[in-house]
Amino acid sequence: MVSQRFSGTIIGVAKDFNFNSLHYKINTLQMSVHPDWGYDEMSVKIDGSHAEEAVAFVKNLWDQHITYPFDYSFLDEHFERLYRSDKQMASVVTIMAGLAILISCLGLFGLAAITTARKTKEIGIRKVLGASETQITVLLSKNFTLLVVVSFVIASPVTYWLLTKWLESFAYRIDINLLVFALGGLVALLIALITISYHTVRSARANPVKSLRYE
């Protein structure tokens, strides 16, 4: 490979900055101005609240001094292109997570209906013997809570590993806070309890006489 050297005067040194996405480390960058190369690009800082007026003003100056057609883009559009694939993946993950939650809630709702139906007589006997509605509700919710906890214990290590692998694709990344997993587990448990609450509360409030007659 033949390298071509250009002599010139260094007129400034800037602090390192990211000119690529955060998937890559900060690399060396040389910004050169050479009279023989001509000028066909420039960067302009404008007030975002007056973007249209600023673009019109810059275009007017460009047309007066430059023969190339005027074409422009905003910096946020550049970053949008850099992280487009990450945003698309985030959208797909969000949709899949929403569908998974919906399907899980439907399954829990049906399972709660079957469980309360099977324990109708047991609930009636417990109420006749003095069990309160709160005690009945807690009794019916206990098994579902255990299922959610077991699922959380199984899913957390896998999720942590997948997130770690994804973050490794970035040169600059955050550390995973384990409190996020704890919060996610509490949210999952809350969603599960809300889902089954219709059947559990309804069974706990049912007339014990009707429950004992249930066949």
The tens digit of pLDDT for each residue in 90-119 reads 899 889 988 988 898 888 888 888 877 777
Least confident of 33-37, 164-168, 179-183, 185-189: 33-37
Per residue in 175-207, pLDDT tens? 888 888 888 889 888 888 888 887 777 777 766
The rounded distance, in Å, linking the Cα atoms of 211 and 215 is: 9
Query: Model pTM?
Result: 0.64
Among the residue ranges 82-86, 105-109, 123-127, 147-151, the one predicted with the least confidence is: 123-127
